[in-house]
Amino acid sequence: MNLEHKDLLGLEHVSREEISLILDTAESFKEISTRRIKKVPTLRGKTVINLFVEPSTRTRTSFEIAGKRLSADVINFSASASSFVKGETLRDTAQTLQSMAPDIIVIRHSAAGAPHILARLLDSSIINAGDGAHEHPTQALLDMLSIRERKGRLEGLKVAIVGDISHSRVARSNIFGMTTMGMNVAIGGPPMMIPRDLEKLGVTVHNRLADAIRDADVVMMLRIQFERQVSSLFPSIREYAHFYSLTRDTITLARDDVIIMHPGPINRGVEIAPDIADGPSSIILDQVTNGVAVRMALLYLLGGGTE
């Protein structure tokens, strides 16, 4: 059983069978994190480089734990502590890395397509941990695993994804992955935060929160990103929250057994009310646990390379 390509650059071209394989494998990996010795020797002697040019703590730590639990040697390169500050190009960095012969490189970069460049230049398996606003495939995979766990299936479920879609690589990867798995995806958000013609990806688009989350099995709230100048897109945080926040009142439009998700970090009181984020319908913490399992599954499936 293998994935079709040596890299995971996004979910746009990943087949249904491959997604199922990754999710099934991840499920088996969950059990390892409950053992006393949370380690298996599978990737012993393999080198995993975490190349996080765009900073991250959660995703990077998740990949680091995943690699270490598989007994791999995990090396972290972060933007500030590396040659990028000195102006080294991605290509030169890549070729430097190549001479260290890593088996897997996990890359997060603010430029869309950066992982694809590495995949072309290097023999190592490349995992995209987020490239600009393009894709964040491991997040979407852990989201789908979390949904499948709670609901027992993916096909036919209605998912609402609400927020600043245009800047969200999480939304994009989820749209690709979920439509591939036969889910009904409804997008919700203000018109200037939703790319034009998004329906072409097989989703429905709504500008009113109520329309997006009505009868939804799953509601996924995206973070309103302060650092991307909210003021130029929206008059104020409060106004956004007024129209698009998931609260005790608005959540009643979804199904009674709805599950609430969020890729994190949460802006309490902005896109999601604190009591909803911490309430019984929320599976936000499950998502984090599943993140390690999904990343272990990917390192396992991609690690070892082609001999």
Partner 1 sequence: MGQEMKVVMDTQGIERCIERIAYEIRETNEGTQDLVIIGIRAGGILLAKRLSTKLQDIDGTDIPSGVLDITLYRDDLLSGTGKPKLGRTDIPFSLDGKIVVLVDDVIFTGRTIRAAMDALIDFGRPNRIQLAVLIDRGHRELPISPDYVGKSLPSSLWEKVVVELSPLPGNDRIVIEN
Query: Residues in the site for partner 1, rule: CB under 8 A?
Result: 1-2, 21, 24-25, 27-29, 31, 35-37, 39-42, 46, 297, 300-301, 303-304, 306-307
* Distances, alpha carbon 198 to alpha carbons 118, 176, 177, 230, in Å: 28, 11, 15, 21
> In terms of CB distance, is 70 or 171 closer to partner 1?
70
Distance of closest approach, residue 306 Cβ to partner 1, in angstroms: 7
> In terms of CB distance, is 240 or 300 closer to partner 1?
300
Distance of closest approach, residue 55 Cβ to partner 1, in angstroms: 32
Q: Report how far residue 219's alpha carbon sits from residue 246's, in angstroms, rounded to the nearest whole number.
A: 9
> In terms of CB distance, is 35 or 58 closer to partner 1?
35
For tokens 């936000």, the residue is 284
* CA-wise closest residue to 220 among 135, 139, 132: 139
> In terms of CB distance, is 145 or 161 closer to partner 1?
145
Distance of closest approach, residue 206 Cβ to partner 1, in angstroms: 39
Secondary element (H or E) of residue 300: helix 284-302
Distance of closest approach, residue 301 Cβ to partner 1, in angstroms: 6
Specify the amino acid at residue 57.
T
What burial letters (b/e) apply to 31-45, b meaning 16+ CB within 10 Å?
ebeeeeeeeeebbee
> In terms of CB distance, is 42 or 281 closer to partner 1?
42
- The residue ranges of DSSP E strands in 79-177, in sequence order, are 104-109, 125-131, 158-162
Q: Strand 125-131 to strand 158-162: parallel, antiparallel, or no bridges (unpaired)?
A: unpaired
Distance of closest approach, residue 39 Cβ to partner 1, in angstroms: 7
